[in-house]
Chains A and B, each alone.
Chain A
Amino acid sequence: MQYELRHQVIPAKRQTYQNVIDRLGDQPVSRYLEGTLDVQPREHFHYRPTWMPNRELYDERFSALRLTDSYRFTDPRQYYYTTYVAARAGLHDDFGKTLSYLEERALLARLPAGWQALLSSIVVPLRHYESGAQLVSVAGARFAYGTSLEQCCSFAAFDRIGNAQMLSRVGIALGGGTRDELETAKRAWVDGAHLQPLRRLVEEIMVLDDWAESLLAIDLVDSLVYPLVYRGLDEHALLGGAVAYSLVAQHFSAWFADQRKWIDALVATWATDPEHATANRAALGHVLATWAGRAYSAVAALAAAVDNHLPMAETSAALAATAESRRSPWASLIGGAAS
Chain B
Amino acid sequence: MSTESPSAAPRKKLPLKERYALLTRDLDWEPSYVDREQLYPFTRYEGIKIHDWDGWQDPFRLTVDAYCKYQAEKDKRLYAVLDGFAQGQGHLTLSDASYLNSIKLFIQGVTPLEYAAHRHFAFLARHLEGPAPRFAALCQSIDELRHTQTQIHTISNYNKYYSGFHSWSKMHDRVWYLAIPKSFFDDAMSAGPFEFLISISFSFEYLLTNLLFVPFMSGASFNGDTPTMSFGFSAQSDESRHMTLGLEAIKFLLEQDEDNVPIIQDWVDKWFWRAYRVSALVAAMMDYMLPKPVMSWKEAFELYFEDQMLSGLFPDLDFYGIRPPRHVDDAIAEKEHLSHQVYKIFHNFSSVAAFTTKTPDDAHLDWLSEQYPDTFDTHHRPTWEKHQRVEAGGRRMFFQGLPQQCQVCQLAISFTEKDDPGKLSFRRSEFRGETFHTCSDGCKWIFDREPEKYVQAWLPVHQILKGDCGGPTIPDVLAWYGIQTGDNGEYTGSPDEQFWRAWHDPSLKHGE
Enumerate chain A interface residues (CB-CB to B < 8 A).
1-2, 4-6, 8-19, 21, 31, 34-35, 38-51, 57-58, 80-82, 85-86, 88-89, 91-93, 95-96, 103, 106, 108-111, 113-114, 116-117, 120-121, 127-128, 130-131, 134-135, 138-139, 141-142, 147, 150-151, 154-155, 157-158, 161-162, 164-165, 168-169, 172-179, 182, 184, 186, 189-190, 199-200, 203-204, 206-207
Cα distance A179–B389 in the bound complex, in angstroms: 77
Cα distance A181–B268 in the bound complex, in angstroms: 44
Residues of B within 8 A of A41 (CB): 112, 115-116, 169, 172-173, 182
Cα distance A206–B36 in the bound complex, in angstroms: 11
Contact B71 A85 (CB under 8 A): yes
Cα distance A141–B143 in the bound complex, in angstroms: 13
User: 1/0 per residue B429-469: CB within 8 Å of A?
Assistant: 00000000000000000000000011011100001000000
Contact B141 A17 (CB under 8 A): no
Enumerate chain B interface residues (CB-CB to A < 8 A).
1, 3, 5-9, 11-14, 18-19, 22-24, 26-34, 38-39, 42, 45, 63-65, 67-69, 71-73, 75-76, 79, 88-89, 92-93, 112, 115-116, 118-120, 122-123, 125-126, 131, 134-135, 138, 141-142, 145-146, 148-150, 152-153, 156, 159-162, 165-170, 172-174, 179, 182-183, 186-187, 189-193, 453-454, 456-458, 463, 482, 484, 503-504, 506, 509-512
Q: A10-B89, A31-B153, A89-B69 are in contact. Are A154 and B8 (CB under 8 A)?
A: no
Contact B145 A154 (CB under 8 A): yes
Cα distance A146–B73 in the bound complex, in angstroms: 28
Residues of A within 8 A of B18 (CB): 179
Contact A168 B23 (CB under 8 A): yes
Residues of B within 8 A of A130 (CB): 27
Please name 13 pairs of A and B residues whose Cβ atoms are closer than 8 Å in the assembled complex, sorted by A.
A38-B169, A40-B119, A42-B173, A47-B456, A82-B75, A89-B72, A109-B6, A110-B5, A113-B3, A141-B122, A154-B145, A161-B138, A177-B11
Contact A57 B189 (CB under 8 A): yes
Contact A18 B503 (CB under 8 A): no
How many residue pairs, one in A and one in B, have C-beta atoms under 8 Å apart? 297
Residues of A within 8 A of B123 (CB): 142
Contact A207 B38 (CB under 8 A): yes
Interchain CB contact (< 8 A) of A157 among B92, B138, B454, B506: B138
Contact A154 B6 (CB under 8 A): no
Residues of A within 8 A of B14 (CB): 172, 177-179
Cα distance A85–B75 in the bound complex, in angstroms: 9
Interchain CB contact (< 8 A) of B3 among A91, A116, A169, A178: A116
Residues of A within 8 A of B509 (CB): 8
Q: A128-B29, A199-B33 are in contact. Are A161 and B64 (CB under 8 A)?
A: yes
Residues of A within 8 A of B165 (CB): 17
Contact A89 B68 (CB under 8 A): yes
Expressed in whole angstroms, the minimum distance between the Cβ of A189 and any Cβ of chain B is 6
Q: A18-B482, A85-B71 are in contact. Are A46 and B182 (CB under 8 A)?
A: yes
Contact B11 A103 (CB under 8 A): yes
Contact A154 B12 (CB under 8 A): no
Expressed in whole angstroms, the minimum distance between the Cβ of A62 and any Cβ of chain B is 12
Residues of A within 8 A of B22 (CB): 168, 172, 179, 182
Expressed in whole angstroms, the minimum distance between the Cβ of A298 and any Cβ of chain B is 12
Residues of B within 8 A of A169 (CB): 23
Expressed in whole angstroms, the minimum distance between the Cβ of A193 and any Cβ of chain B is 12
Contact B453 A34 (CB under 8 A): no
The closest CB in chain A to the CB of B453 belongs to A47
Expressed in whole angstroms, the minimum distance between the Cβ of B30 and any Cβ of chain A is 8
Q: A174-B6, A176-B7, A207-B39 are in contact. Are A12 and B149 (CB under 8 A)?
A: no
Expressed in whole angstroms, the minimum distance between the Cβ of B110 and any Cβ of chain A is 14
Residues of A within 8 A of B134 (CB): 135
Expressed in whole angstroms, the minimum distance between the Cβ of A64 and any Cβ of chain B is 19
Cα distance A200–B183 in the bound complex, in angstroms: 41
Contact B141 A35 (CB under 8 A): no
Contact B141 A175 (CB under 8 A): no
Contact A165 B64 (CB under 8 A): yes
Contact B68 A17 (CB under 8 A): no
Contact A121 B1 (CB under 8 A): yes
Contact A150 B6 (CB under 8 A): no
Cα distance A173–B161 in the bound complex, in angstroms: 55
Residues of B within 8 A of A82 (CB): 72, 75, 79, 146, 149-150
Cα distance A142–B445 in the bound complex, in angstroms: 31
Q: A41-B116, A57-B189, A189-B29 are in contact. Are A176 and B64 (CB under 8 A)?
A: no
6 closest A-B pairs by beta carbon, nearest first, are A177-B12, A106-B8, A141-B122, A92-B65, A35-B149, A162-B64
Q: A44-B173, A161-B64, A165-B64 are in contact. Are A16 and B3 (CB under 8 A)?
A: no
Residues of B within 8 A of A121 (CB): 1
Residues of B within 8 A of A13 (CB): 160-162
Residues of A within 8 A of B135 (CB): 161
Q: A35-B152, A151-B145 are in contact. Are A47 and B169 (CB under 8 A)?
A: no
Interchain CB contact (< 8 A) of A203 among B27, B34, B67, B503: B34
Of B42, B120, B134, B159, most A-chain CB atoms within 10 Å: B159
Contact B125 A138 (CB under 8 A): yes
Cα distance A175–B152 in the bound complex, in angstroms: 46
Cα distance A121–B2 in the bound complex, in angstroms: 10
The closest CB in chain A to the CB of B148 belongs to A39
Contact A165 B63 (CB under 8 A): yes
Cα distance A92–B71 in the bound complex, in angstroms: 13
Interchain CB contact (< 8 A) of A158 among B138, B152, B453: B138
Q: A116-B5, A172-B19 are in contact. Are A43 and B161 (CB under 8 A)?
A: no
11 extra A-B contacts, CB within 8 A, seeds A82-B72, A127-B27, A204-B34: A15-B160, A17-B156, A44-B458, A46-B186, A85-B75, A89-B68, A89-B69, A142-B126, A161-B135, A177-B13, A207-B39
Of A12, A41, A206, most B-chain CB atoms within 10 Å: A41
Interchain CB contact (< 8 A) of B5 among A42, A47, A109: A109
Interchain CB contact (< 8 A) of B503 among A5, A34, A92, A206: A5
Q: A6-B88, A14-B159, A207-B34 are in contact. Are A139 and B126 (CB under 8 A)?
A: yes
The closest CB in chain B to the CB of A107 belongs to B8
Cα distance A163–B138 in the bound complex, in angstroms: 15
Cα distance A173–B19 in the bound complex, in angstroms: 12
Cα distance A80–B503 in the bound complex, in angstroms: 34
Q: A10-B511, A81-B142, A121-B1 are in contact. Are A48 and B27 (CB under 8 A)?
A: no
Cα distance A2–B14 in the bound complex, in angstroms: 56
Contact B75 A86 (CB under 8 A): yes
Q: A34-B156, A142-B120 are in contact. Are A176 and B3 (CB under 8 A)?
A: no
Expressed in whole angstroms, the minimum distance between the Cβ of B115 and any Cβ of chain A is 6
